[in-house]
Amino acid sequence: SHNLQNLPRENFDALRALFEKPSRGAAPKVPFEVISNVVSNMNKMQYAHAFEQVQNYITAGDCYQVNLAQRFSAAATGDGWIAYQKLREISPAPFMAYMRLPNLEVLSASPERFLQLVAQHVETRPIKGTRPRAEDAVQDAKNAEELQSSLKDRAENLMIVDLLRNDISKNCEIGSVKADKLFQLQNFANVHHLVSIITGQLAQGKTALDLLRGCFPGGSITGAPKLRSMQIIAELEPHQRGLYCGAIGYIGFDGNMDTSIVIRTVVYAHDKPGQGKLSFYAGGGIVADSSLEKEYAETLDKASSIMKMVQCFNKTNH
């Protein structure tokens, strides 16, 4: 097993320096601004056409469920760290993450665990099933109750539970994989979700990387069966997803791992220092009895917190 004591001294010193050295000054020098309106890569008519194509594939027997997403984008300048602070305020989530990469900042407010591995215990928590929050408490409770009792949303969730049970079984002890909890209601800043919990015991000789390789990308944001749904997504969505629906997380020296699904996430790509394009996606699982209007509205509900954050910095509206 790996531990810090086994590291060469110079590696340990370099690692410690990363933690001890402040990574940024007290305040960013460049304020953050959004300098254009937000536009989607699919208007409603184009979304409707893609939705119809998915329905045709389902009817033909190619798939049971496909996650169809639209991408929103806007021009921006300044330091994405400021935008991330606002996103934390508007949409706190269990898997918040900020990453600064060369020419790229990632601002994630993901509510969804992809894979966790702790001492050979595997857990995944797929989200499938959504209703918007309402300002009125009575209506909000009604939305939550409607979601919890929706047979359609439970069926969608169960499809993904079955897919993920199969995915983690590839690297788990035979007979150890089970659905611990099904259709648990979780409340977030802008939406209610149904979440299920699937667990297993990692097989002898298998590692976090084996588990990640066997399950990536997450089934909740592709569809079922996974490979065919991914092919359909690649055909119907106008742009490659990039980081969207990938994973952010860590693998420790002890072999433990925790990762999130990259949803409710802004990618700020810089074409020159301090300016570039924001992009963020929102989608939903389409099944045989899905309604076009409801599915389209669901993408807007999921994007609402990031839209709200963007509007806080949008100078074109003032």
For the chain, the domain total comes to 1
Contact 285, 128 (CB under 8 A): yes
Q: Cis before residue 217, ω within 30 degrees of 0?
A: yes
pLDDT, position 23: 60
Residue 312 belongs to a domain: yes
What is the Cα–Cα distance from 149 to 151, expressed in whole angstroms?
Answer: 6
Q: State the pLDDT at residue 1.
A: 47
DSSP 150: -
Q: Would you give the distance in Å from CA 126 to the centre of its chain?
A: 10
Task: List the CATH number of the domain containing 176.
Answer: 3.60.120.10
The answer to the question of residue 228 being in a domain is yes
Among residues 252, 255, 303, which one has the least CA distance to residue 278?
303
pLDDT in tens, the chain (318 residues): 455 566 677 887 887 777 777 665 555 568 999 999 999 999 999 999 999 999 999 999 999 999 999 999 999 999 999 999 999 999 999 999 999 999 999 999 999 999 999 999 999 999 999 999 999 999 999 999 999 999 999 999 999 999 999 999 999 999 999 999 999 999 998 999 999 999 999 999 999 999 999 999 999 999 999 999 999 999 999 999 999 999 999 999 999 999 999 999 999 999 998 899 999 999 999 999 999 999 999 999 999 999 999 999 997 765
Query: Which residues are marked as active site?
Result: 112, 128
Whole-number Å distance between alpha carbons of 124 and 120 = 13
Asked if residue 81 is part of any domain, the answer here is yes
* Domain encompassing residue 123: 34-317
The amino acid that residue 34 corresponds to is V
Interatomic CA distance for residues 300 and 262, integer angstroms? 17
d(CA 81, CA 247): 20
- Assign 3-class secondary structure to 21-47: CCCCCCCCCCCCEECCCCEECCCHHHH
